[in-house]
Structure 1
Amino acid sequence: MKRILIKNAKIVNEGKIFESDLLIENQFIKEIADSISAKPEYKVIDAEGNFLIPGAIDDQVHFREPGLTHKGDIASESKAAVAGGITSFIEQPNTVPNAVTQELLEQKYQIAAETSHANYSFMMGGTNDNLEEILKTNPRNVAGIKLFLGSSTGNMLVDNEEVLEKIFSSTKMLIAVHCEDETTIRNNVELYKEKYGDDIPVKYHHLIRSEEACYLSSSKAIALAKKTGARLHVFHLSTAKEMDLFTNKIPLEEKQITAEVCIHHLWFTDADYETKGNFIKWNPAVKTEADRTALWQALLDDRIDVIATDHAPHTLEEKKQVYTKAPSGGPLVQHAVVAMFEAYHQGKISVEKIIEKMAHNPAKIFKIEKRGFIKEGYYADLVLINPAMPWNVKKENILYKCGWSPLEGTNFKSRITHTFVNGELVYQNSKVNDTRAGMRLLFNR
């Protein structure tokens, strides 16, 4: 039996911060108490008064396996995730081939079972013609259904309105959506191509994939969810206008429609295109300062429920292409938690709120079994973070397979010192060990 005792921790859980000891026994949190006596067989870790938080649950990543492993793979990106304090991830279906049959979906689980450093689940992908496969999805061990209502990496656009309504009305599973209106975007691209050809300045990205494109699509998806009673989760919101579509009037557990914001939309604005170029080219686009301000406000007042990454690595060579050829997306899992702690240092958000949005709420929204909280009997997915241990993001300490970060050069005040996945100490002293401790996530539904 493996036992690890964490002493002198500042535990952050369910809106409270309290000093405590915590005992891990095998995969689980065995005991939380003011003082737990060490025994000879215990491995003892002194937290030295640093924060002990539940491992973050990233509900939207693209780890690129199978088929796109020159950009990243489950082993490399999950390794970066645990170094960044993310102990569970939900990966998207736009790999090659797309995960749009039960067989293809299960193949991804088999890869992760052998290679993942973090806990994992995979979304079943929806298309214009795979309703039968969607309805076979097991709600107990699959996170949900993913629909691209605007095209992005992977050509999985669902644009048949009759099919959409059938999917929304036929499944009780959570439906997660990428919302951008395809017609609006195509028209905007043509306008800018007439002027610039393929080498459109990236500073116009947020005008091509515009506020209008986002709002048209997200408002339509929400109207359809209300009509059909579907359980809808809207990914990576990016505009002030969309914030009016969401409510904070009811508890999270009662919401049928929930919302997510990503790190890059909270961190960057269109002013950053000047220096970052395609490295901050995402879909939906990073937009204006006013949009970023509105996203922060909605996050803090609980119209937005979750903070995620939309981690989507591409190679440097791919990103250096002209605008129309450079793919959208960027790597973020290694730096997401410390980026939010930077916002804490800036007085924008409390530590308790960070944990609510990055651990508690994803667990609630997806009904993940025994994760996302620091409670006795729960899996020991835990992270120790020192809020006063500065470091700088540079090529030598980036773990992404693609080898770059949009946050390169950033000085962070906080550093993750230890990460535990299912009771295994998988990250310490800036190193991820070889233990593949990740387990398949299960859902209470």
Structure 2
Amino acid sequence: MSSILIKSATLVNEGKTFQADVFIKNGFIEQINEAIERKADLEINAEGLHLLPGCIDDQVHFREPGLTHKATIYSESRAAVAGGITSFMEMPNTVPNTVTQQLLADKYAIGAKHSLANYSFFMGATNTNLEEVLVTNARDVCGIKVFMGSSTGNMLVDDEKTLEALFSSTPMLIATHCEDEGTIRNNLEIFKAKYGEHLEPWMHPLIRSAEACYKSSSRAVTLAKKHNTRLHVLHISTAIETSLFENTLPLHEKRITAEACIHHLWFSDQDYAAKGNWIKWNPAIKTVTDRDAILQAVLDNRIDIIATDHAPHTIEEKSQDYSHAPSGGPLVQHALTAMLDLVKEGKIQLEKVVEKMAHHPAICFNVKKRGFIREGYWADLVLVDLNKSNQVTKSNLLSQCQWSPFEGHTFGSSVTHTIVSGHLAYDQGNFNELKMGERLLFN
């Protein structure tokens, strides 16, 4: 369908909440007005619903190629769309790692064929591929990913000369995973000496400690300041790290930005007793104090973006003992509704959620014509019912891994419709897969 008319919606956009109609034609928002009387191929009665710009998730792991027993771009993009995420930026630690231009092109080909959401893929850095990194096209690739602390494949970048070269010569945004590997190894040996080989999930935030996070994050920030690099620090998990970031400049002027993830805003180390490996992530979920400090940094704009770090593993993999269970879990289907619960609890304003999950990712990454409800922009939109509860059960999970850390929880809100680049991709539980998402472009 080439045109859609959304009637009587409550728009939440650019800090304002107001009622309006929205007319969409050929993928773009053509008109926003109090009352639009035009014929459209489809009319949606949005009375009682809130219309938000679609979420842009700047950190996901959709596992394709090479790890498709866990997930695929197709399966996870469907889960994302059902959760109100219209665009994603996917990480390079697939198999093989996305560390050459050809492997990057291969992944974009998969996205074009199979992604129901709009898509972009990070180019991965290693200790030895600087030449490949430097020819990445900033117009149609979201950024460069540097694992400054990771046990994923061969992507740990720990050579000081390589880090200096990356930060000094890369004109694109560098997104970093920051945990100091040496500190983690030392902590692990201490715990093994004390407890033997049978470690438990509650030890995870002590092994992958706040010290390890801060040491690596502060190193990245120092390098960025030295070379005026465009740095984006992913998944902040500690209170002390929030001190590294400033809120004195508007986002479009910042050279150093930061991201918080849903699980670090929702869970704490008190939840390991009940959830164990199901909330095992890297960086680790830490204390209530850390969780509250991260939320405060989101509210006062030291942290700029809320994302998921969606990283599914199979039930069998996560059911192993702590030492062998991989870190990560599925979140895209429930990220927005989780934040809407925090709105209901009075912890954050709805306008701020929209800012952090749609406006700010678009500004931070210079995404072209997305992230806002504006005439002339791509129609990436999500309708939510703030009064329709939604219980998470195995039967309604969409990620291929078929589990969620939120299983059994009832969210107070529901996503009803998701429009991706002007295409009604999700409508009250039903998918329309006649059109795939678009490749994100960047200014």
The TM-score normalised by the length of structure 1 is 0.98
- Equivalent position of 2:12 in the other structure: 12
How far apart, in 2, do the equivalents of 1:26 and 1:73 lie? 28
Matching of residues 383-422 of structure 1 within 5 Å:
383-422=382-421
Matching of residues 215-364 of structure 1 within 5 Å:
215-364=214-363
How far apart, in 2, do the equivalents of 1:60 and 1:199 lie? 32
- Equivalent position of 1:2 in the other structure: 2
Report the CA distance between 1:429 and its aligned residue. Answer: 1.8
How far apart, in 1, do the equivalents of 2:342 and 2:166 lie? 38
Report the CA distance between 1:194 and its aligned residue. Answer: 2.2
How far apart, in 1, do the equivalents of 2:331 and 2:153 lie? 20
Q: Structure 1 regions of 5+ residues with no counterpart? A: none
* 1:51–1:384 contact (8 Å) kept in structure 2: yes
Report the CA distance between 1:246 and its aligned residue. Answer: 0.5
- Equivalent position of 1:92 in the other structure: 91
- Equivalent position of 1:29 in the other structure: 29
Output one character per residue of 1:302-336: Cα deviation in whole Å (capped at 9) or x when no partner. Answer: 00000000000000110011111110000000000
The alignment partner of 1:11 has SS state of strand
Report the CA distance between 1:434 and its aligned residue. Answer: 2.3
How far apart, in 2, do the equivalents of 1:97 and 1:327 lie? 18
The alignment partner of 1:418 has SS state of strand
How far apart, in 1, do the equivalents of 2:32 and 2:119 lie? 26
* 1:153–1:327 contact (8 Å) kept in structure 2: no
| Counterpart check, 1:133 vs 2:135 | no
How far apart, in 1, do the equivalents of 2:125 and 2:10 lie? 43
Report the CA distance between 1:106 and its aligned residue. Answer: 0.6
Output one character per residue of 1:240-278: Cα deviation in whole Å (capped at 9) or x when no partner. Answer: 001111000111111000000000000000000000000
How far apart, in 2, do the equivalents of 1:435 and 1:42 lie? 16
Output one character per residue of 1:34-62: Cα deviation in whole Å (capped at 9) or x when no partner. Answer: 000142x4411110131100000000000
- Equivalent position of 2:434 in the other structure: 435
* 1:198–1:322 contact (8 Å) kept in structure 2: no
Output one character per residue of 1:182-241: Cα deviation in whole Å (capped at 9) or x when no partner. Answer: 000001111112233332011010000000000000001100100011100000000000
* 1:118–1:421 contact (8 Å) kept in structure 2: yes
The letter of the residue matching 2:23 is L
The letter of the residue matching 2:53 is P
* 1:141–1:442 contact (8 Å) kept in structure 2: yes
Query: Between the two proteins, what is the percent identity of the paired residues?
Result: 63
The letter of the residue matching 2:224 is A
Distance 1:221 1:390, change over 3 A: same
* 2:114–2:436 contact (8 Å) kept in structure 1: no
* 2:2–2:25 contact (8 Å) kept in structure 1: yes
How far apart, in 2, do the equivalents of 1:152 and 1:346 lie? 37
The alignment partner of 1:163 has SS state of helix
Which is further off, 236-245 or 147-156? 147-156
The alignment partner of 1:295 has SS state of helix
The alignment partner of 1:57 has SS state of strand
How far apart, in 2, do the equivalents of 1:90 and 1:152 lie? 21
* 1:117–1:435 contact (8 Å) kept in structure 2: no
The alignment partner of 2:58 has SS state of strand
Report the CA distance between 1:102 and its aligned residue. Answer: 0.3
The letter of the residue matching 2:437 is G
- Equivalent position of 1:426 in the other structure: 425
Taking only aligned residues, the RMSD between alpha carbons, in angstroms, comes to 0.9
* 2:423–2:435 contact (8 Å) kept in structure 1: no
Report the CA distance between 1:154 and its aligned residue. Answer: 3.1
Output one character per residue of 1:116-158: Cα deviation in whole Å (capped at 9) or x when no partner. Answer: 0000000000000000000010000000000000114334100
* 2:4–2:44 contact (8 Å) kept in structure 1: yes
- Equivalent position of 1:72 in the other structure: 71
Report the CA distance between 1:2 and its aligned residue. Answer: 1.5
How far apart, in 2, do the equivalents of 1:433 and 1:332 lie? 22
* 2:387–2:412 contact (8 Å) kept in structure 1: yes
Report the CA distance between 1:96 and its aligned residue. Answer: 0.2
How far apart, in 2, do the equivalents of 1:155 and 1:137 lie? 20
How far apart, in 1, do the equivalents of 2:390 and 2:135 lie? 47
The letter of the residue matching 2:32 is I
The alignment partner of 1:93 has SS state of coil
- Which segments of structure 1 move beyond 4 Å, counting only runs of 4 or more? none
How far apart, in 1, do the equivalents of 2:178 and 2:224 lie? 13
The alignment partner of 2:329 has SS state of coil
How far apart, in 2, do the equivalents of 1:425 and 1:179 lie? 38
The alignment partner of 1:355 has SS state of helix
How far apart, in 1, do the equivalents of 2:95 and 2:2 lie? 39
How far apart, in 2, do the equivalents of 1:108 and 1:338 lie? 29
The letter of the residue matching 2:357 is M
* 1:72–1:313 contact (8 Å) kept in structure 2: yes
Report the CA distance between 1:437 and its aligned residue. Answer: 2.5
* 1:153–1:328 contact (8 Å) kept in structure 2: no
The letter of the residue matching 2:421 is N
* 2:392–2:410 contact (8 Å) kept in structure 1: yes
Report the CA distance between 1:377 and its aligned residue. Answer: 0.6
How far apart, in 2, do the equivalents of 1:279 and 1:177 lie? 24
* 2:113–2:436 contact (8 Å) kept in structure 1: no
* 2:112–2:436 contact (8 Å) kept in structure 1: no
How far apart, in 2, do the equivalents of 1:395 and 1:196 lie? 35
The alignment partner of 2:379 has SS state of coil
Q: Structure 2 regions of 5+ residues with no counterpart? A: none
